[in-house]
Structure 1
Amino acid sequence: MLTITNLNVAWLELLCFGGVTVAVYLAKQVVIKKNPGPYPPGPRGWPLIGNILDMPRSKPWLTFTEWGDITHIEVLGRHIIVLNSVKTAIEMMDSKSTLYSDRPVLPMAGELVGWKYSLPFLPYGRSFRQQRKKIHRVIGSRAAMDVYNETEEVETRRFLKRVLAKPDQLQDHIRHTAVAVVLRITHGYEVQENNDPWVDLANRVTENCSQASAPGAFMVDILPFLAKVPAWFPGAGFKRIAREWRGTLEQMVSTPHKFVKDQMVADIAPVSFTSNLLKGGDVSAEEDHVVKWSAFSIYAGGSDTTISAVYSLFLAMTLFPDVQKKAQAEIDAVVGHDRLPSFADRDSLPYTNALVKEVLRWNAIFPTGFPHCVAEDDIHDGYYIPKGSLVMPNLWFMLNDPRTYANPSQFNPERFLAKDGKEPETEPSTMCFGFGRRQAQNCICPGLHLADASIWISTAMSLAVFDISKVVENGVEITPEVDPLPGIASHPKPFKCSIKPRSATALALIEQHANY
């Protein structure tokens, strides 16, 4: 039996790499032309291979932080522009959004796995506008989200019950709740309390996407021609991985959609995003495709954001007990002890609102954002930005830039409150979800308001009834490590914490809603 060793794989990649670099070099010598201006500054590349050795394979945002406000690298003929400055990002991606709002083709995640039909991955064009319009109509503003406040509150009460019963499974409870909220809104589906197959499927799809789209994780994203290599070929294990992940994705997209259509035929479909768009019948195949992927795009844009942020909230409360006490004191003063907070209380809880903002700043959910693609040649600040360049905003650094945030390593919600004549610091939402026309108010990032509502109600209800603290093992207090995991969407490294009801009254509140 033939065994494919790591050495075989290394030789294959080396040969492919050598061949393509020589081809790129020779092609450049033939078609070389004089640029209208210099590229932005960047690390000096090597002959033939350019900056491929400078491109980090893990946690790229940390490497990018060491570069300047605008940096240029070239990897096998592909130009990449990394932005570390909010000002530069706004000037390029907001002010010149028509040039900077496209998406690059991502061979692994987009083409091979199949995420290319989902709104976050769609190129700027007709399909993008169709999906965006449908999503914006349903969850494109906080006012539109008010329709789903009851769903959010009911599912969060169920979350409190699960955490009370099994606090050591916090991350699973957060994932379960995020999926439950989205599936209720998009497909009218109420998840089972335990072992729901759609919850497991959704979690696998999310994890697969994060791995597939992480910068530098797969060689095929650097050498796109590898996508044509047969799956049986030595070193082509990524093709087998992509086939498996594609099947999981297709199941997650199609199964809930079919569920709604079957219920509509039986005239028992509850009101949902999908049923509203399909009602009336006579939907074309194209329209059906748009509705199916629009519903999935809400999940793609909202659930992982919620999961990462709520898990980060519990980590922050474990590490910063003084912040937790301030938020609890505000909630107690406004809400009292005889009920749980609701969305009606939101405007009366400024410190709790600021706490949610600080969670989004402290934990950069999308550390390097989604890459954009330049539609036409551009000259910016005297620098030449070629058509087709990838533009990557280093959101992690922007949210930790001392030029924007005082003492950025400090977890301090008060930075977002006006005090003693001092203006609040920059809203993290202006950058943590990206820049450009794709993120503009009238073309909202899918799931932004859904995630915002989920994070806020989870924060308010959890702090109303739980005390979150460090665990003690064998007499030793365990301090969790702050270590974001790699991926296009970053999550805190799994950690332990103690979660206990604040009082007998708090316990009664949780149990009072046990049957929701």
Structure 2
Amino acid sequence: MSNIWNILDLVLAAVAAYLLTQVVRNNRQRLPLPPGPKGLPFIGNVLDMPKEKESEKFTEWRHLYGDIVSLRLFGQTMIILNSPKVAVEMLERKSSIYSDRPRMEFGGEMVGWNQTLVLTPYGERFRSYRRFVHQLIGGKQQIKRFHSLMESESRKFLKRLLHTPEQVQAHIRHTAGSLIIKMAYGYEVQEGKDAIVDLVELAVDQFSALSRPGAFLVDIMPFLRYVPPWFPGAGFKTAAESFKKTLNDMVDVPFNFVKARMASGCFSEEHGFRGADTTVSANYSFFLAMTLYPEAQRKAQEEIDRVVGTDRLPVFADRENLPYVEALVQEVFRWNPVVPIGVPHRVLEDDIHAGYFIPKGSIIVPNIAGFFHDPEVYEDPHNFIPERFVSADGKNMPPDPRDYCFGFGRRICPGLHFADASVWNTCVTTLAAFNITKAVENGKLIDPLVEYTVGTISHPKPFRCAIKPRSAKAEALI
């Protein structure tokens, strides 16, 4: 008889647990979505989505609706996070359910970027990728073994800048590509045009374009993937094939180079890191900032001259003794962030946050540029002011932008220490060797505009500046 009661108890417990689960789920679904623009029937907020300067529109919505804003795009829920506090609470403290990536029909499925770390779904393959990259560049100690390589590449960069300063943007791209490809494959990049560097740059530019939310209609209506190529408006299928070839070539060409070297017995170094070159944008922003803010440049150069002297160029060992340069680098990352709205996350199960219902499968977008341009956190945010990060007695320091600009939680950029070191190295050696000023045309100074490209990775648009050695001694050092 006791066995029968035990079985009955188990059945009743199971029924009670099921009913409780249903009650909790129903209560969740009765909670409201976060507020947001009203939208239209069927298409939702598709017409509300900005085609450029997304961060500015999201910030406008913050003033109307708050730190958490929801949109509906053909039935797909998108959640905009307009405060770093909320982003940390959701994307870091609840990272077990907020670490997936949205299914990107165009860039992920059709082109193939879902096979890379940045877009691969959350799961065992993602964790394997992360472990591998972490072993190589996951911490400051691992990055130290690449310091000498970074310093060597920065010297080459200064030489290029000395001979053709008007090609500064190309030199930044070339140097960043050289460094990453050397680290990854042991490949010595050729001076001038290099096929592998060009290939990497093209693939990264294409990724920046295709990964913007709503960039391709097939991302919102996946069934369009199956329309025939001759169907009106199906040109995206041709573009996908072209982008796919670029991605595959970017993977295969340098990999085949490594295999050939190993077969010939010429490959002896341990390499394996590869990554999208977001440092290009930060370094080019540095040149734009120095052109527009000469006082910040002067203060940094005075500190370098005082600490390092003028008989050698700075090295990583000098970093801890250059607090103003450190503050300047922080301001470079804050002023115009490389990835203004981050790479979207996807929530794996229903959640409740701040009294709002966050449905399973929602796309989560952190408004990173909005964080950095909040005047309540960073005074006079659109001006370049390194002093905001210089510590002083009794001063309340604003958040370090490097805590947010590399992403959140388990999706934080694994190359953040590499990017930080690379940008610092470029900034400090350039400041030691060159003066960066406004260009002069017909006797008049040219004021460059602060304009950035549209895309997941945002770059300053080309601008003119004058770059000259600080002295004959500096030119000799170069």
> Given the two structures, how large is their TM-score scaled by the length of structure 1?
0.85
CA distance in 1, matches of 2:268, 2:398: 43
Q: Percent identity?
A: 52
Question: 1:186 matched to which residue of 2?
Answer: 184
Contact 2:42–2:75 (8 Å) recurs in 1: no
1:318-333 equivalence runs, <5 A: 318-333=291-306
Contact 2:71–2:79 (8 Å) recurs in 1: yes
* Aligned: 1:465 with 2:433: yes
Question: 2:366 matched to which residue of 1?
Answer: 393
Contact 2:28–2:357 (8 Å) recurs in 1: no
Opposite residue 386 of structure 1, the aligned amino acid is: P
> 1:41 deviation in Å?
0.5
Q: Deviations over 1:247-288 (max 9, x none)?
A: 0110111111121122112111041323xxxxxxxxxxxxxx
CA distance in 2, matches of 1:462, 1:394: 31
Q: Deviations over 1:80-100 (max 9, x none)?
A: 000111111111111111111
> 1:404 deviation in Å?
1.8
Question: 1:383 matched to which residue of 2?
Answer: 356
Unaligned runs of 5+ in 2: 1-25
Secondary structure, aligned partner of 1:81: strand
Question: 2:420 matched to which residue of 1?
Answer: 452
Question: 2:205 matched to which residue of 1?
Answer: 207
Contact 1:120–1:446 (8 Å) recurs in 2: no
CA distance in 1, matches of 2:28, 2:186: 58
Question: 1:142 matched to which residue of 2?
Answer: 140
Question: 1:299 matched to which residue of 2?
Answer: 275
Opposite residue 134 of structure 2, the aligned amino acid is: H
Question: 2:52 matched to which residue of 1?
Answer: 58
> Given the two structures, how large is their TM-score scaled by the length of structure 2?
0.92
Question: 1:29 matched to which residue of 2?
Answer: none
Opposite residue 130 of structure 2, the aligned amino acid is: R
Q: Deviations over 1:16-40 (max 9, x none)?
A: xxxxxxxxxxxxxxxx999230000
| Aligned counterpart for 2:290 among listed residues 310, 317, 324 | 317
* Aligned: 1:410 with 2:383: yes
Contact 1:119–1:128 (8 Å) recurs in 2: yes
1:398/1:34 Cα in 2 relative to 1: closer, same or farther (>3 Å)? closer
Opposite residue 217 of structure 2, the aligned amino acid is: M
* Aligned: 1:429 with 2:408: no
Question: 1:278 matched to which residue of 2?
Answer: none
The structure whose Rg is larger is: 2
> 1:229 deviation in Å?
1.8
> 1:128 deviation in Å?
0.6
Contact 2:28–2:352 (8 Å) recurs in 1: no
| Aligned counterpart for 2:335 among listed residues 343, 353, 362 | 362
Question: 1:507 matched to which residue of 2?
Answer: 475
1:65-104 equivalence runs, <5 A: 65-68=59-62, 69-104=67-102
Contact 1:119–1:446 (8 Å) recurs in 2: no
Aligned length: 449
Question: 1:117 matched to which residue of 2?
Answer: 115
| Aligned counterpart for 1:245 among listed residues 243, 246, 251 | 243
CA distance in 2, matches of 1:356, 1:343: 14
| Aligned counterpart for 1:46 among listed residues 37, 40, 48 | 40
Opposite residue 479 of structure 1, the aligned amino acid is: D
Q: CA RMSD in A?
A: 1.4
| Aligned counterpart for 2:152 among listed residues 140, 151, 154 | 154
CA distance in 1, matches of 2:208, 2:381: 26
Question: 1:259 matched to which residue of 2?
Answer: 257
Opposite residue 416 of structure 2, the aligned amino acid is: L
| Aligned counterpart for 2:307 among listed residues 307, 316, 334 | 334
1:13-52 equivalence runs, <5 A: 35-52=29-46
Contact 1:79–1:389 (8 Å) recurs in 2: yes
Q: Deviations over 1:312-344 (max 9, x none)?
A: 000000000000000000011111111111111
Secondary structure, aligned partner of 1:97: coil
